[in-house]
Structures are given as structure tokens and as C-alpha cells.
Amino acid sequence: MDSETALTAPSRGTREPVREVLDRALSGEILGQDDALALIECPESDLVDLIAAAGELRDRGKGRDVTYSRKVFLPITNLCRDRCTYCTFRKDPGDPGAWTMTPDEISAWSRRGAELGCKEALMCLGDKPEVAFREFRETLRELGAGSTPEYVARACQLALAEGLLPHTNAGLMTREEMAMLRPHNASMGLMLENISPRLRARGGPHQWAPDKDPNLRMRMIEEAGELRIPFTSGILLGIGETPAERALSLLALRASHERHGHIQEVIVQNFRAKPDIPMASAPEPDDLDMVRALATARLVLGPRANVQAPPNLSPNQIEIFLRAGINDWGGISPLTKDYVNPESPWPHLERLAQRCDRAGFRLKQRLTIYPEYINDNWLDPAIAPTVRAMQARMAGEEKP
């Protein structure tokens, strides 16, 4: 389908029955905007068929292996110039818990992670702290870095030296910043969250978050494709968007992937309420919201897409999410907590493997970069030998 079509306002004409949309998806047809809306808004009476079709499409493209990446979560800095109303990660300088990791901390955490079998170092940080905070500009100077991305590049080198593959999610970056980080990263990422500009309006979750402008985020996702960076993106459910806006967001990601082929995985993440955020009393998306979004993602993105749900945010929904078409659980750490959702512990890997097994799936470890991107077309020559060596080493390991 034409990518521009994906961004037009949803039409509300006469709806084709959901069963017919599912049959067209299973026959290999690429679904359009009205199809995606019909699926994500389907009545409960169609849910069994929706889940079965999404599961069947996943089986055709991905089989019954479900993957995860064993990682260390490195919160390089939790200072952030934005103020998303659902965020518990960000801090101002001087706040209790405000923290920028030192090079020694980055090396020590990476080393410990590698000892525990981790392969990925997730570089996670707030958006553009140097623009907002004089204190952080001084910190960068003391660390000998000219900018936040430059310090992240150094963090990547430190993690690589300890045997981990970096994956950077540093928020909104320029083409030049991504190009500078490419040789030091196996893959990179930025959540789209949602394509709707409405969420930036007064009273919306992104009113005070200039870096959450969906046009800017789509531009970065496009530029990552132009730079041939294997890229992770996704949508965030439950921040005030409608189901139709979730579907339009999936279509926008698909359109970018059709142009560049670079979106290695699409995350469908659910908002979790926390006591210390402005959205503390906002309702969380329920299980059926997630199932509808996951199944729609699979059916819209196709059999070969990698569709991911974070298992720590829905510990009781492992089996239903597998049935609804996912093939990946994302990063799971034996060492560090999920700093974005610190109240949600990672699942124990052996127990997760058992649950997958009982549901008819095999849990398998993967690198941060998916196997289909481990080739000269996608890897920067500076990091390619390390990625290939790690891929060979992982293949020789027995445990998931």
C-alpha cells in the first residue's frame, strides 16, 4: 500500500466483515488502512478469529521460536529536557536519584553483564539534557565529551571492550549524530510511541515534550533507514491515544520499512501506572487492548516482521500474547532492572522458557541485531567482525 495513505484520517465507511479481512491477510494480501482499523477495533465476538489468524501468520513467517536478547540496561544519564506525564525515569539535576554514569561504572556494569552471559548493552538516556541543564554541560566537560552523543559513543566503546554489543536509544538524534554512532552500535532504536500530533496538545502527555513530536520522530526513523541502521521502534499503548491512532502508527512504521527495509522489530508496549507520575491514576490498557494491538501488528506488518511485547509489563499474559502473533520478548536482564518500569521485574529466564515450552514455543536467545541484518548490507565494517564473532559464540552455547 502507498505509504502516504497510512497517514490520512481514518475513514469510517461501511466496514467489511473482520473475517474477510483476516482471509485476505492470510492469502498474502497487504492490508490497507480501513483493514487495520477494522482489526484493531474489532468486537469481542471476532477476537478468537483475530488471534488465530495472527498466530497462523506468525507461524508461517517465524515458526515457533520466540526470541529475547540478554542485556545490561545502562542508564547513561536520567537527566532529560522533556516531561512526558507517564515517565518515572527522568530527573532534573539535583533531584534525588539524578545520575550520569561514569566511565568506570559503564565498564564495571558491562563486565558483570558479560560474566552473566549478556550480549547486549542497552544505552538508554533522557533527551537532550545538555540543551536544558548547565550542570549537565559541565558534567560533559569534566568527562571530556563535547556532546551527549559523543559521550554515548564512548560508552559504546567501553561496552564493546567488555564483550557486549551496544544498542543505543538516546532519544531524538540528528542524521549526523546517528552516523557518528553507527560504527559503535549493532543496532539502534527510537520508539515512535504514537503518530498522533494530538498527544502534544495542551493537557496531553507530550505537551512538555518537544522531542515527542511525531513528525520529528518519523524523520529520524526515515534517516536511520537512509543510513542503513538496523532499527527498533514501536508504539506505546495507554497514553491517551485511540485504537485507530495505534493502527495508524503501525502503518506509518510499515511505510518507512517499505522504503528502507530497516525496521528490525516493532515493540507493542503497554503503559503502566506508577504512583509518582502525573498519570498515576490513568487507566492502564487492558489485556484485550494489548491483544488487539499485537494481533493487528502481526496482520498489518506481515509474517516476516518481528513483533515484540515486553514480558515484565504483562507477566500474566505470556501465553495469550504468544497466541496473538508475537515472536520476541525483547531485552531481558539478569543484572539490571528495567529503569523505565522499575516496579516490573524481569521474568526468570528458566521459568519463561518453561511457559513458552508449555505453550508450544521454544525460547531462544538472539543478539540485539536480528539475524537477517547480520550481513555487509547493514553492518558497519567497524563492528561487523565483533557481531559475527558473537553470533558464532552464541550458536555454540546450549542454554536459551
Query: How many angstroms separate the CA atoms of 219 and 325, rounded?
Result: 28
Query: How many angstroms separate the CA atoms of 75 and 95, rounded?
Result: 16
Cell of 80: 532529560
The minimum distance between CB 341 and ligand SF4, in angstroms, equals 11
Query: How many angstroms separate the CA atoms of 105 and 71, rounded?
Result: 16
Query: How many angstroms separate the CA atoms of 237 and 292, rounded?
Result: 11
Question: At 353, which helix (H) or strand (E)?
Answer: helix 349-358
Contact call for residues 377 and 228 (beta carbons, < 8 A): yes
Q: Which is nearer to ligand SF4, 83 or 260 (CB)?
A: 83
Q: Is 108 exposed, middle or buried (0-12, 13-18, 19+ CB in 10 A)?
A: middle
Q: Which is nearer to ligand SF4, 82 or 380 (CB)?
A: 82
Among 288, 287, 372, smallest CA distance to 328 is for 372
Cell of 323: 497466541
Q: Are strands 328-332 and 362-366 parallel, antiparallel or unpaired?
A: unpaired
Q: What residues line the site for ligand SF4 (CB under 6 A)? A: 80, 82-84, 87, 89-90, 126-127, 171, 209, 211
Cell of 334: 539478569
Q: Which is nearer to ligand SF4, 127 or 289 (CB)?
A: 127
The minimum distance between CB 237 and ligand SF4, in angstroms, equals 14
The minimum distance between CB 140 and ligand SF4, in angstroms, equals 18
The minimum distance between CB 199 and ligand SF4, in angstroms, equals 12
Cell of 302: 506481515
Q: Which is nearer to ligand SF4, 82 or 162 (CB)?
A: 82
Q: Which is nearer to ligand SF4, 89 or 321 (CB)?
A: 89
The minimum distance between CB 84 and ligand SF4, in angstroms, equals 3
The minimum distance between CB 276 and ligand SF4, in angstroms, equals 13
Q: Which is nearer to ligand SF4, 79 or 121 (CB)?
A: 79
The minimum distance between CB 82 and ligand SF4, in angstroms, equals 4
Q: Which is nearer to ligand SF4, 91 or 323 (CB)?
A: 91
